[in-house]
Structure 1
């Protein structure tokens, strides 16, 4: 019997600063573009550089998660600071999204 190894194609997006109504549409476009690239099976969103997140930023992530699920892909969040993580907890989206530690470790463990 042969062993079959699957190596998923991973894309990483590293937003920085504020994810809010001023840039949420552009952020959502970037996420959509990354997800629809040929053979991408995992999209990691590295939140290490994100200082604040409002409802528009959250909706961009939710829309991207829905698209990923429809495409059979995985969208994972990583390197979220405690301040950003609490936003997901307060909105109960922490149970919807997959969270990883650091992006580099998430890639290695995939």
Structure 2
């Protein structure tokens, strides 16, 4: 489901397909595992290949943000499709999530 690219400072998680009840638990576990590694400066969740997000998928992302905050890690999201961005905005998550366009994360 996910492709994980590791760098001493940045870990990129690339979920694909549907973020629904079937895949959300796996994503939540992977986010937790990656965030608990001490070598991360940034965990970047690249949503470019995500076709669908439902409430279970949103909860997995929110859970990742909560874990990151508790561990004083930085988690960011990029390549968010306009339809998904609207969902984030309607849920008020755009104020909680750090969202970037594809290339801008490396300049911040």
TM-score band by shorter chain is: 0.7 to 0.9
CA–CA distance in structure 2, aligned partners of residues 105 and 41 of structure 1: 16
Matches within 5 A, 1:79-90: 79-90=79-90
- Residue in 1 aligned with 2:68? 68
TM-score of the pair, normalised by structure 1: 0.86
SS of the equivalent of 2:32 reads helix
Deviation at 1:37, TM superposition (A): 1.4
Deviation at 1:77, TM superposition (A): 0.6
Matches within 5 A, 1:1-110: 9-102=9-102, 104-106=103-105, 108-110=106-108
| Structure 2, gaps ≥5 residues long | 1-7
| Alignment length (residue pairs) | 101
| Structure 1, gaps ≥5 residues long | 1-7
- Give RMSD over aligned pairs: 1.3
- Runs of 4+ aligned residues of structure 1 deviating over 2 Å after TM superposition are none
TM-score of the pair, normalised by structure 2: 0.88
Is the contact made by 1:44 and 1:77 (CA closer than 8 Å) also made in structure 2?
A: yes
- Residue in 1 aligned with 2:5? none
Is the contact made by 1:76 and 1:99 (CA closer than 8 Å) also made in structure 2?
A: yes
